Structures are given as C-alpha cells and as structure tokens.
C-alpha cells in the first residue's frame, strides 16, 4: 500500500533534548512538508522541500531543522531552541494533479516535552 508513515505515534522528551521525528513516503512524490498543529490554530507550515537536497523555511521554522537526503524521507528535528515544542506534528507530500499540487498527509506524531 502506498502512503506516508510517521513514527512514533507518541513521543515524550525532557526539556533541553533534541528529538527527531520520522516521515517516510512511498508515493514517489517530489514535494514534502512538515506542519505543526495546535488547538485552535490550524496547521502552520514549518519546512517544505520540493526536491532532494533542497528545502525552504515555512512560517514557523525557528527551533526546527530538516534534511532531505532521499526522495522518500524528510525527517524533522525539534531542537532545544524551540520554545514551545509540545504539539501534534503532521508530515505531508504532494503530487501535481490537474494543475495543482494535491497534498496527502501522514497520521501524525504527538510530541510532549516536559
């Protein structure tokens, strides 16, 4: 089955530690995205990548880092510089369909930092 996998589903960390969230897709999509979701705020774009070895900052990139060494993988590192890292993180990928980049989402990772 083609799709996007995110692991783990739940992640707990102590304040001051970096943590890496995994995102893998086997849809052969070129573009991948990371969003952060907080209650009442919708989805906010952290980083996106249009192609391997290239990525751009989204609206809230501070305190996060990414890499895109393979087409299938787009891991997100939440660093200790992120002031409020507890949130639900969603990974997505997109394909050009009918003139628009249609986004598909993974199941998400809920990160709790105490």
Closer to another protein by Cβ: residue 33 or 85: 33
CB of 102 vs another protein, minimal distance in Å: 7
Mention every residue, 6+ apart, whose C-beta is less than 8 A from residue 69.
52, 53
Which CB, 85 or 108, lies closer to another protein? 108
Q: Which is nearer to another protein, 58 or 80 (CB)?
A: 58
Which parts of 54-93 interact with another protein (CB under 8 A)? 58, 88, 90, 92
Quote the least distance from Cβ 40 to another protein, whole Å: 6
User: Contacts with another protein in 2-41 (CB under 8 A)?
Assistant: 4, 6, 9, 31, 33, 35, 40-41
């Amino acid at each position: 089955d083609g799709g996007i996998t995110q692991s783990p589903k739940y992640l707990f960390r102590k304040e001051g530690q970096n943590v890496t969230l995994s995102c893998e897709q086997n849809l052969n999509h070129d573009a991948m995205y990371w969003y952060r979701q907080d209650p009442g705020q919708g989805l906010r774009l952290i980083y996106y990548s249009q192609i391997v070895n290239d990525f751009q900052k989204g609206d809230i990139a501070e305190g996060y880092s990414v890499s895109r060494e393979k087409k299938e993988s787009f891991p997100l590192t939440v660093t200790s510089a992120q002031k409020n890292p507890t949130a639900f993180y969603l990974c997505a990928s997109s394909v050009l369909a009918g003139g628009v980049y249609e986004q598909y989402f993974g199941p998400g990772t809920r990160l709790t930092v105490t």
